[in-house]
Amino acid sequence: MPDNSADQTPPAVRSMIDLIGRQSAHYALRLEELGTVQDNGKPLTERNLLANFHQRVEQVVVEYEKSNVPLRGDALVFEQVHRPNPEDPDILHGPAASIRKLLALEVEFRGPRRLSGTQNMYLAELYEVLGGVLKKSGLPAHAALAYKRATYCFDVAEDVTAQDRCRLARARAKRQATMPRWRRIPGYLSDMLCGYGFKPFQLLAWIAVQLVVFTVVYWILEGTELKGASLADAARICFTNYLNPVGVDGLNAPAQVLLLVESWTGIIFLSVLFALLVRRWFRF
């Protein structure tokens, strides 16, 4: 059965969709040059290409402002691009399709028309989903842009949970786009410890692991001096020292060093934990 969706699309919208398609197709060709050495002797990166992407978006936005696109209520203007019909013979696949959707979303986002609350939520959801697709396609810098827009749209909708989710996803995408690879190490550590600050209870788990390690090591180092003291006694001392440093008089040198290291570790980790919890619980 023939698809008449194209016939139902206003001519002005169809013209804009065609322009978006041409711009995204040209840009997709540039993606094939990623990693190639440029005239300046440096390899072409995603961040370099994003400048060209933004220029193309602005060109389409200028045409959008000139066009006579009719109002469509709470529906997005380029809905046909955001949710294409699988039976459409012109449908794109792979990175080219993702770039086309991202460009269309950017035109909606930066366009001259004020977005309604419903349209804003549509954009937020589409940006977030597209961010995941772009990241899996090997375009993490483009994914970071999508997550950045999703965060803004969720902020307008006052959805704090979704904001944090997109901020975390954006931080991970930016880390993946960072070159050279060794510069990703701080990001890996932050993500591993507390999810870039968005998962404070993950840090609490690391604190529990630290307490177990310090307890076992202290019990081994000071076992002979404690004259048969139980592991529970060692746990009590280490737990107390982690929260509030205790005196180290009367302990052997290795045990003293251990408790000093533990006390400083506790101060740092607990301070960070409380700061993250305050941010999470008392944000308005």
Give pLDDT tens digits for 129-169.
Answer: 999 999 999 999 999 999 999 999 999 999 999 999 999 99
Residue 73 has what pLDDT?
A: 78
Residue 223 has what pLDDT?
A: 66
Question: Which architecture, in CATH terms, is 199-281?
Answer: Orthogonal Bundle (1.10)
In single-letter form, the type of residue at position 206 comes to W
For 62-80, what is each residue's pLDDT tens digit? 999 988 888 777 889 998 8
Both structure tokens of 106: 């950017």
Concatenating the DSSP letter of every residue in 68-97 gives -PPP-TTS-TTHHHHS--TT-TT---THHH
Residue 89 has what pLDDT?
A: 42
Torsion (CA) 43, 185, 132, 177 in degrees, nearest 10: -10
- 43 — phi, psi (to 5°)? -70, 145
Residue 284 has what pLDDT?
A: 65
- Specify the pTM: 0.86
Residue 247 has what pLDDT?
A: 78
Domain boundaries, the chain: 5-193, 199-281
The stretches in the chain having pLDDT less than 50 are: 1-6, 89-90, 226
Residue 196 has what pLDDT?
A: 95
